[in-house]
């Protein structure tokens, strides 16, 4: 368990909070590309890292991410007019360009130079790989992330998002935790596993964990026994600070899981489902997965995630809740809006979570003391999660070294 002070450090993301200052040194996923308005179109709201912002696109196609509130009387610029060269507040007509500079102030006398002294916060925003990335930190932003899914043709990757009404860090911890797949994501009655993946995870439901620190974050290896002389390893990659790469199940489809704190009590959960070598053919995710006109899952806390107690009792569904994302959402949200880690009781299967907490607490403290945050070099991002069987005598970081490289021709699923 953590101390109250450590829990506060991990969970608070506002501009002055230690974690908030740390996270602002990275590009953060803010919106899906499908949410970007056309040039000259109406602005869209974007709340991220506790800041209320608006995104608009000027007549030249440049994205602008500004403080939502006008510098004059703090009216919302969401209701403003996009006049091509800037966003005009409808209260008194003040206009701001994409850099946040006030360029027109019609409520002031013509001879006034006051507009030249007025700016609002403006942040870099770019579209890449179906996502709008924003940099809310000081100075020049680092290079954009370059994870494998971001470099693939659009046909090979589907990116989606949904809302989680809880703190960002408990969502991230759920992605790092590999032991829960034997329970929360169990597909059927354990007496009748449906496929090889089910056979492996149900054959040894209590994995042993090993964690290796890497230049980009952590490699979390969960091993399960296969016979007397082999281990099945599921190696989850944690890339500081937001990203988790989930090992493939079968056929090589990889899950990239990345979270964006809206504020202390809400989170955008982004998912990229991708394959390095073949196109996506499924209709994923289907529109009926969301509440109409929103990115909130249709199965949510208001309807108890539409749990089917009959299916839970008769063994056709372990949880009674349909969908992996919905199952993950249920446990994250029911831990509380901000999970109180002073009350938990951790076991040996929680070592990946423990190490992730230690890693972030260490690097936040080092950053506050003047150190450069880790994982800002995109050359370190070209890694894969791994699912493979190795001899018991082979350490997982050695046996999986080649499979963890994001490289053409390297297999992405190595379980026969």
In a domain, 409, yes or no: no
Stretch 183-198: mean pLDDT: 66
pLDDT for 194 beyond 70: no
Q: What is the pLDDT of residues 204-221, one digit of tens each?
A: 677 899 999 999 999 999
pLDDT, greater one: 258 or 413: 258
Domain annotation covers residue 352: yes
For residues 83 and 180, membership in a common domain is answered with: no
- Here the CATH number for the domain that contains residue 112 is 2.102.10.10
pLDDT digits (tens, 9 = 90+) for 219-243: 999 999 988 899 999 999 999 999 9
Instruction: Using alpha carbons, select from 126, 114, 158 the residue that is nearest to residue 280.
Output: 158
Query: Do 55 and 167 have their domain in common?
Result: no
Closest CA to 328 of 222, 214, 173: 173
**pLDDT in the model for residue 408:** 73
Task: Reply yes or no on whether the pLDDT at 412 is more than 60.
Answer: no
- Neighbour tally for 409: CB within 10 Å: 6
94: pLDDT strictly greater than 80: yes
User: What mean pLDDT do residues 354-364 have?
Assistant: 98
pLDDT score of 32 more than 80: yes
Same-domain pairing of 110 and 189? no
- pLDDT of 285 reads 85
**Domain-embedded: residue 342:** yes
Q: Confidence band (pLDDT; 50, 70, 90) for 251?
A: low
List residues bridging with 55 in a β-sheet: 44, 65
Judgement on whether residues 118 and 231 belong to the same structural domain of the protein: no
Same-domain pairing of 106 and 168: no
Residue 3 lies in a domain: no
What is the per-residue pLDDT for 3? 97
- Summarised one tens digit per residue, pLDDT across range 132-154 is 999 999 999 999 999 999 999 99
Question: For 44-90, what is each residue's pLDDT tens digit?
Answer: 999 999 999 999 999 999 999 999 999 999 999 999 999 999 999 99
Give the pLDDT of residue 193: 59
Chain centre distance of CA 383: 17
Q: Is residue 70 assigned to a domain? A: yes
* Residues 115 and 152 reside in one and the same domain: no
Instruction: Give domain status of residue 34, yes or no.
Output: yes
Whether the pLDDT of residue 254 is over 50: the answer is: yes
Q: What is the pLDDT of residue 191?
A: 57
Say which CATH number the domain at 263 has.
Answer: 3.90.380
Domain count, the chain: 2
Residue 289 lies in a domain: yes
CB atoms within 10 A of CB 128: 14
d(CA 201, CA 286): 28
CA angle 362, 387, 317 (to 5 degrees): 100
Give the percent of the chain with pLDDT over 90.
81
Residue partners of 232: CB distance under 8 A and separation at least 6: 200, 204, 223, 224, 225, 226, 387, 388, 389, 415
Note the Cα 7 to chain centre separation in Å. 20
Q: pLDDT category, 248, cuts 50, 70, 90? A: confident
What band does 189 get if pLDDT is binned at 50, 70 and 90? low
Q: Are residues 108 and 215 both part of a single domain? A: no
Q: Which residue, 76, 99, 134, sits at the end of a domain? A: 134
User: How confident is the model at residue 252, as a pLDDT?
Assistant: 75
Q: Among 134, 163, 187, where does a domain finish?
A: 134
- Expressed as residue numbers, the domain containing 340 is 148-399
Whether 185 and 292 map to the same domain: the answer is yes
364 plus 227 within the same structural domain:
yes
Q: What's the pLDDT tens digit per position in 277-322?
A: 889 887 778 889 999 999 999 999 999 999 999 999 998 888 999 9
Same domain, 98 and 170: no
The percent of residues above 70 in pLDDT, for the chain, comes to: 93
265, 167 Cβ separation under 8 angstroms: yes
pLDDT at 416: 44
> The whole model's pTM is what?
0.93
Residue 162 is predicted with a pLDDT of 98
Same domain, 65 and 162: no
Same domain, 62 and 117: yes
In a domain, residue 408? The reply is no
| pLDDT, the chain, mean | 92
User: How high is the pLDDT of residue 196?
Assistant: 64
């Amino acid at each position: 368990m953590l101390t109250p002070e450590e829990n506060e450090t991990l969970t608070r993301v506002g501009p002055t909070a230690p974690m908030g200052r740390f996270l602002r040194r990275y590009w953060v996923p803010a919106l899906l590309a499908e949410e970007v308005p056309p040039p000259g179109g109406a602005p869209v709201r974007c709340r991220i890292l506790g800041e209320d912002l608006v995104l608009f696109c000027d007549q030249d196609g440049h994205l602008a991410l500004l403080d939502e509130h006008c510098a004059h009387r703090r009216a919302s610029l969401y209701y403003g007019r996009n006049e091509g060269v800037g966003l005009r507040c409808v209260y008194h007509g003040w206009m701001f360009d994409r850099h946040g500079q006030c360029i027109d102030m019609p409520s002031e006398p013509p001879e006034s130079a006051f507009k030249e002294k007025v700016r609002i916060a403006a942040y870099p925003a770019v579209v890449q790989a179906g996502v709008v990335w924003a940099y809310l930190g000081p100075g020049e932003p680092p290079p954009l992330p370059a994870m494998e899914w971001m470099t693939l043709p659009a046909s090979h990757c589907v990116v989606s998002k949904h809302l989680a009404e809880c703190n960002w860090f408990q969502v991230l911890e759920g992605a790092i935790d590999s032991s829960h797949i034997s329970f929360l994501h169990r597909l059927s009655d354990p007496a009748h596993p449906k496929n090889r993946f089910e056979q492996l995870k149900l054959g040894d439901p209590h994995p042993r964990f090993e964690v290796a620190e890497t230049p980009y974050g952590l490699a979390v290896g969960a091993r399960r026994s296969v016979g007397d002389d082999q281990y099945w390893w599921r190696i989850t990659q944690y890339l500081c600070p937001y990203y988790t790469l989930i090992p493939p199940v079968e056929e090589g489809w990889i899950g990239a899981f990345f979270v964006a704190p809206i504020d202390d009590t809400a989170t955008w959960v982004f998912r990229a489902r991708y394959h390095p070598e073949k196109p996506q053919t499924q209709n994923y995710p289907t529109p009926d997965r969301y509440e109409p006109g929103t990115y909130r899952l249709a199965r949510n806390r208001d309807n108890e995630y539409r749990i089917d107690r009959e299916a839970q009792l008769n063994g056709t569904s372990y949880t009674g809740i349909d969908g992996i994302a919905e199952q993950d959402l249920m446990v994250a949200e029911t831990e509380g809006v901000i999970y109180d880690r002073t009350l938990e009781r951790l076991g040996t299967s929680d070592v990946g979570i423990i190490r992730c907490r230690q890693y972030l607490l260490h690097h936040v403290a080092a950053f506050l003391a003047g150190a450069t945050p880790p994982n800002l070099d995109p050359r370190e991002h070209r890694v894969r999660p791994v699912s493979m069987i190795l001899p018991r005598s082979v350490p997982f970081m050695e046996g999986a070294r080649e499979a963890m490289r994001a490289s053409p021709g390297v297999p992405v699923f190595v379980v026969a």
